[in-house]
Structure 1
Amino acid sequence: MNFDQQPARQPVDTEKREEFDRDPKGFIERTILDYAATSPSNKLEHFGGAPIFEPPIIGYANGDDPIFETYKEVVHKDHFMPREILERYLTEVRKVDTPVVERVTVVAFALPYNRETMRENALEKHGPALRWNHTRWEGQDFNHELVKHVIASLERVGVEAVAPDQTPFFRIVLPPDPLASYWSHRHMAYATGLGTFSLNDGLITPKGIGVRCSSFVINMDLEPTPRPYAHHLANCTFYANGECGACIARCPGDAITKEGHDKAKCHHVLFVQQKPWLDGEHGPGYIGDYAGCGLCHTGVPCAAGIPGRRARAETT
């Protein structure tokens, strides 16, 4: 998209606005869930039309929550603040004179990978299954399309919104600098109560670590989702009692150790070690800028849920 030629805003749909006003969260959630359920883009064309993602889980956070200040330290010094990026988008992209941003909410969702995709990748030891590879890239396209759809739906009812990673201000910082971005969807998902981090830097949600996260910012006040955990590593069994670490053995490039996840080594696995997958060495049909890996997200106890949660529930 040419950001200097933004499409003109459509007149507010008054009927839809009334629906939104009756239940703003319900409107947002129905928009996300319905699109995920019905869009042909959420289909693995080369795998029988199976869904790329299962129904997502959705969370909310106050855009002025102090947690977002910490992301300038733990993610990147230029990580966007929700209010900052919404105001900048409205001013510099949408050309709104003196935008009024009173209350800001971050909306995040996690899209669980198809269970068969997870199963097939769990069988691999050195690189991703073909189905996982297609999920990585076709899923990214669908994810972007879904967010654009939700934002367009909100704009049609007169609500200003922005997907920070789809603005011209977004950057991904690559090696030799520490790998990071100006807007981390996983950290937004953590802030909105969807899950906590793992030894391999993934996000362990009630649907497991096999998820793809996304998020956006809206110009209104919605009640935050409670964060049902004491700290940012609470769902990871390794950090709880040191008894797991299954993702260490799953990594084909020693990028995960008891000390955590080495992003530079992981980057090497993706772009160097697994390059033969794109070159056809492991069979035809691999797509994208890199093969996709994902081995440490499959074949592990947290693949499809929070480890120990069922056992804890049964003993209480």
Structure 2
Amino acid sequence: MTDLAGWIEDAIKSYGATSAENSLGNAAHERAWGEPLVAFSNGDDSLYQKLKADIGAFYFTPAEAFQRAFPVHQVKPQQLTVISWILPQTDATRSDHRKESRYPSERWARSRYFGEAFNASLRRHVANVLNHAGFQALAPVDASFWSKAVSERYGFSSNWSERHAAHVSGLGTFGLCDGLITAAGKAVRCGSVVARIAIEPTTRPYADHHAYCLHFTHGKCGKCMGRCPAGAISEAGHDKTKCWDYLQRVTFEYVKNQFGIETYACGLCQTRVPCESRIPTSPTMG
């Protein structure tokens, strides 16, 4: 097998296209996600060390995550590849969500619950495909050692971030609300697997972690601030405490009572904004 990147990308996209789990769990059996975007980064990429230094000592580099999963196997960081993907919300889900101003739409809530269950299934599928082919692999967020944490600098955090892995892999940059702006926009979910496999890293088409956010690049936009019912987004950034409080107090009960789903969902800042479904060039988009 010579085209390992193509093989893995096909495994991810074909699973998304054929798996019955890629569903909103509604009567119409609608797809939860559109076609994934896939990219790769090397385990020795200096950004992973920078993330650890920036977020906190608890944050795992790819090599540290791999070593925890395979403690008897010695590996060098450069022998590892992080496989990252983006799952875009469907047109129907985004259209519904644009109309909301206080609570999540039903499709959005379903994508958060059933769609994330598919994302977990996709992580297992990718890791299994690799392991069965002789390449040791793990999905860090599904590992027993994955945990939430508190960053001294950023507050609520965890020891592995799907969004940050996607950023390092060239898939997107962060917006004012902390969402990842990708070629498919910000209305997305992310996933990743770390594997002992040699794949050419995807070239990052940006040098700054805010390169796709109009607020940071043009000094204007801020549309996500007006979309947040919790007042958790300001020019100072994303207030995670206010955001989490709104999820717990308001949207969890709403989603449970209205749709019979127990999940934390909101995501209003990801729609009716210029970066909803693309990399924006003008604050009038969206």
| TM bracket, shorter-chain basis | over 0.9
Bigger-Rg structure (1/2): 1
Following superposition, the deviation at residue 25 of structure 1 comes to: 0.7
State the partner residue of 2:50: 70
**Structure 1: runs of 5+ lacking an equivalent:** 1-20, 92-96, 312-316
Following superposition, the deviation at residue 228 of structure 1 comes to: 0.3
State the partner residue of 2:240: 263
Whichever residue aligns with residue 39 of structure 1, its letter is S
Whichever residue aligns with residue 205 of structure 2, its letter is P
State the partner residue of 2:185: 208
- Which of 198, 214, 217 lines up with 2:175 in the alignment? 198
Instruction: Please tell me whether residue 89 in structure 1 is matched to residue 69 in structure 2.
Output: yes
| % identical equivalent positions | 37
How is 1:162-177 mapped onto 2 (pairs within 5 angstroms)? 162-173=138-149
**Structure 2: runs of 5+ lacking an equivalent:** none
Q: Distance in 2 between matches of 1:178 and 1:78?
A: 13
TM-score (norm 2): 0.93
Instruction: Please tell me whether residue 120 in structure 1 is matched to residue 96 in structure 2.
Output: yes
Following superposition, the deviation at residue 47 of structure 1 comes to: 5.2
Following superposition, the deviation at residue 99 of structure 1 comes to: 4.0
Q: Distance in 1 between matches of 2:184 and 2:109?
A: 20
CA contact (8 A) 1:53 1:112 kept: yes
Does the C-alpha gap of structure 1 residues 40 and 271 become closer, same or farther in structure 2, counting only changes over 3 Å? same
Following superposition, the deviation at residue 130 of structure 1 comes to: 1.1
Following superposition, the deviation at residue 185 of structure 1 comes to: 0.6
CA contact (8 A) 1:53 1:111 kept: yes
Consecutive aligned runs of 4 or more in structure 1 exceeding 6 Å deviation = 174-177
How is 1:1-316 mapped onto 2 (pairs within 5 angstroms)? 21-46=1-26, 48-91=28-71, 97-101=72-76, 103-173=79-149, 178-280=155-257, 284-290=258-264, 292-308=265-281
CA contact (8 A) 2:82 2:169 kept: yes
Q: Cα deviations across residues 31-76 of structure 1 (Å, max 9, x unaligned)?
A: 0000000000002231512210000111111101111011123333
Partner SS state of residue 215, structure 1: strand
Whichever residue aligns with residue 305 of structure 1, its letter is R
Following superposition, the deviation at residue 100 of structure 1 comes to: 4.6
Q: Distance in 1 between matches of 2:24 and 2:187?
A: 17
CA contact (8 A) 1:245 1:258 kept: yes
Q: Distance in 1 between matches of 2:209 and 2:191?
A: 18
TM-score (norm 1): 0.85
Moved more, 201-210 or 171-180: 171-180
Residue correspondences, number: 281
